[in-house]
């Protein structure tokens, strides 16, 4: 049974495997389209420093960029930021940056801010930010090297150099927050919005 009731196809402005998996598992048919925006340039121009506000800004910009070329469609944009206190982390450029990030995160609690925005005909019609608090266990240099060797290039594909749904789970001793937020898409608020708009059948 198809759950989507919109007149036009639902679009995810992301190629994130985790986000695509979450929408697919929720029974939603959608098309994934890359949002061609300069994330770091937009962030710098905004002069924002609050990680939640930055995540929401980027989610909005992704949704609007794709929506501009897809009239009538509902477009989901999403972004995730990681903050250790006042310090904001980005995806590591390589193994050395990943190691440096993990050294700083080990033994501390950080926040994952997952933002979602929905655009329709170029206008934002819904947005939300959910937060998860992640406590990484203390790690030795040998332990971090073993993890990086096992995880390989995947560490450069996500902020914080880990995927919790994979080998990254070994890095943590405590997690506070829902699974969807951690994977980068606040799914429950998003589904609630789609239901209110009568865009899904359940």
Number of H helices, E strands in the chain: 7, 7
Whether 104 is catalytic: no
Pair of tokens at residue 40: 């770091």
Q: Point out the catalytic residue in the list 79, 104, 121, 149.
A: 79
d(C-alpha 129, C-alpha 108), whole Å: 22
- For residue 121, the tally of other CB atoms under 10 A from its CB is 13
The three-state DSSP-derived secondary structure of 101-118 is HHHHHCCCEEEEEEEEEE
Region of residue 156 (left: phi > 0; alpha: psi -120 to 50; beta: else): alpha
Q: For 134, phi and psi rounded to 5 degrees?
A: -120, 125
- Indicate which residues carry an active-site annotation: 79
């Amino acid at each position: 049974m198809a759950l989507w009731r919109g007149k036009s196809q639902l679009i995810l402005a992301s190629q994130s495997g985790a986000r695509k998996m979450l929408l697919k598992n929720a029974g939603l048919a959608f098309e994934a389209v890359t949002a061609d925006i300069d994330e770091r340039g937009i962030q710098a121009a905004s002069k924002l420093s609050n990680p939640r506000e930055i995540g929401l800004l980027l989610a909005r910009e992704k949704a609007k960029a794709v929506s501009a070329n897809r009239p009538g469609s509902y477009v989901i944009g999403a972004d995730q930021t990681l903050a250790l206190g006042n310090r904001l982390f980005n995806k590591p450029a390589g193994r050395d940056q990943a190691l440096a990030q993990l050294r700083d995160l080990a033994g501390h609690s950080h926040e994952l801010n997952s933002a979602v925005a929905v655009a329709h005909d170029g206008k934002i019609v819904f947005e939300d930010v959910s937060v998860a608090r992640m406590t990484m266990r203390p790690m030795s240099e040998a332990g971090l090297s073993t993890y990086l060797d096992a995880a390989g290039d995947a560490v450069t594909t996500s902020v914080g150099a880990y995927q919790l749904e994979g080998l990254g789970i070994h890095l943590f001793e405590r997690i506070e927050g829902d699974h969807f937020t951690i994977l980068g898409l606040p799914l429950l608020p998003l589904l609630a919005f789609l239901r209110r708009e009568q865009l899904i059948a359940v």
